[in-house]
Amino acid sequence: MLFTAISFLYYFFPIVIVFYFIVPKKMQNVVLLIASMLFYFFGEPKYIFLMLTEILIVYMEGRLIAKYKKKSLLVIAIFIHIGLLCFFKYTDFMILNVNQLLNVNVSLLRIALPIGISFYTFQILGYVIDVYKGKVKPQKSFLKLATYVSLFPQLIAGPIVRYETIEKELDSRKHSFENFSYGVRRFTIGLAKKVLIANMLGELCNQFTGTDEKSILFYWIFAISYMLQIYFDFSSYSDMAIGLGRIFGFHFLENFNYPYISKSITEFWRRWHISLSSWFKDYVYIPLGGNRKGLKKQIRNILIVWVLTGIWHGASWNFVIWGLLFAIILIIEKIFLGKYLEKCPNFLKRLYVLFIVMISFVIFNAENMGEAWQNILGLWGANGESLINSYTLYYIRSYLVILMIAFIGATPLLRNTVLKLKKNEKINKLINILEPVWIIWLLLVVTAYLIDNSYNPFLYFRF
């Protein structure tokens, strides 16, 4: 089930809200767990038992690890959950590579990837590791642990919520009109970003992919559009997840902080997919030694983290190369480039970041490295296309407004403007009156668009 589905917006979610707020507080986790199971069942009916089995296993693992404090138990727990993730996500990838390497023809298993497995596996791993380290106490209630792992607002595509972040809120959380209104506002804004911006940019990218009438300018439009699409697609899901969580009394941490205004790649990864970056930092990079054991080991640790980050996103070599690209650039920045970047004008720093990120997402989007390389060459006219053609001009005219909206929306310009206006008492009162009208209008426009349009994917469901 998608957050952008009419069935979710006008049937599933309202029913859950009604039941959640009419039952006694001690039953609210039960409502959330049942709702989460139904939510997952509608999307992945055959894999709901896999998720339930993993929850049961991690419940027992947490209790045993806390009781015996043995590292061997933690290693077994990590092996089980990483093993299940690898089996479902990487088995066919490994078979393909063995076939090519040894020139054999082992049949692919063609295992369907369970939706959200990459996200809930990392939540499970974070929980057992934190229990072993003594950062959190093992959850004695199976119901509460199951609610944490399967919580439907963030189950499918994150953010990766740490157990310690909502540990207390699983036991007791406050509900208020302020939280509810914030949640509705945040969810609706995320919904609009997804449907009215990300989906339309996706349509433009599909037009590029599906045509033979390419031009150099169209390659650039495609690369920029995809870079914007993936930001609005994934950040909108995070907005919706944070909004839904707040409605139910949970405070999920932010996952995006305007990454396209970054002045270095290091800063970019502090602003992009923050929950994933911090997870790898805390559970892989720092345990490996981080930057505490000399430059050589720091370089090794960065390479390991970014190869894992790449392969986490998908079972394909282009994801590995995507991760390695960022690893190399981050290493270069740490060794010498960073001090030179500090002396550059801000606009040059930002152009540098945007160009690197744009190229990286061309690689990220491709089905294989051959396609990625062709699209990169196309940016420089190496594929033999003309600079511009009538087909390109048609799509520039058709999508110019949405591209301009996306450019502005990817910066904090609108947010900062509103915050400045709110400092004026009279204007603030006017904004408070108009804001609910604006949210209702957005919801109506989105609904009309969803009824009329069938293009509605979520890019990060691939991972």
Contacts of residue 33, Cβ cutoff 8 Å, sequence gap at least 6: 143, 146, 147, 150
Q: Supply angle C-alpha 340, 341, 343, rounded to 5.
A: 70
Read off the pLDDT of residues 196-245 as tens digits, 9 standing for 90 and up.
Answer: 999 999 999 999 998 889 999 999 999 999 999 999 999 999 999 999 99
Read off the pLDDT of residues 103-148 as tens digits, 9 standing for 90 and up.
Answer: 898 899 988 888 889 999 999 999 999 999 999 999 999 999 999 9
Q: Is 81 a catalytic residue?
A: no
Look up residue 463 and give its two tokens.
Answer: 């991972």
pLDDT of residue 425: 85
Cα 179 to Cα 386: distance, rounded to the nearest angstrom: 54
pLDDT of residue 96: 92
Look up residue 88 and give its two tokens.
Answer: 């479902």
Annotated catalytic residue, options 81, 251, 273, 313: 313
SS3 (DSSP) at 261: helix
| Residue pLDDT tens, the chain, 463 long | 788 889 999 999 999 999 999 999 999 999 999 999 999 998 878 899 999 999 999 999 999 999 998 999 999 999 999 999 999 999 999 999 999 999 898 899 988 888 889 999 999 999 999 999 999 999 999 999 999 999 999 988 879 999 999 999 999 899 999 999 999 999 999 999 999 999 999 999 999 998 889 999 999 999 999 999 999 999 999 999 999 999 999 999 999 999 999 999 999 999 999 999 999 999 999 999 988 888 999 999 999 999 999 999 988 999 999 999 999 999 999 998 988 888 899 999 999 999 999 999 999 999 889 999 999 999 999 988 999 999 999 999 999 999 999 999 999 999 999 889 888 888 888 888 888 999 999 999 999 988 877 655 666 555 5
Q: What is the full DSSP assignment across 210-254?
A: H-S---HHHHHHHHHHHHHHHHHHHHHHHHHHHHHHHHTT--PPP
Prediction pTM value? 0.93
Q: What is the full DSSP assignment across 79-118?
A: HHHHHHHHHHHHHHHHHHHHHHHHT--PPP--PPPPTTHH
Q: How many CB atoms lie under 10 A from the CB of residue 348?
A: 12
Cα-based distances in Å from 99 to 94, 192, 320? 9, 45, 19
Cα 257 to Cα 214: distance, rounded to the nearest angstrom: 34
Radius of gyration of the chain measured on its C-alpha atoms:
23
CB 68 within 8 A of CB 138: no
Going by C-alpha positions, the residue among 210, 266, 234 that lies closest to residue 119 is 234
CB 234 within 8 A of CB 405: no
Contacts of residue 75, Cβ cutoff 8 Å, sequence gap at least 6: none
Cα 148 to Cα 162: distance, rounded to the nearest angstrom: 9
The DSSP secondary-structure symbol of 134 reads T
CB 170 within 8 A of CB 144: yes
pLDDT of residue 432: 86
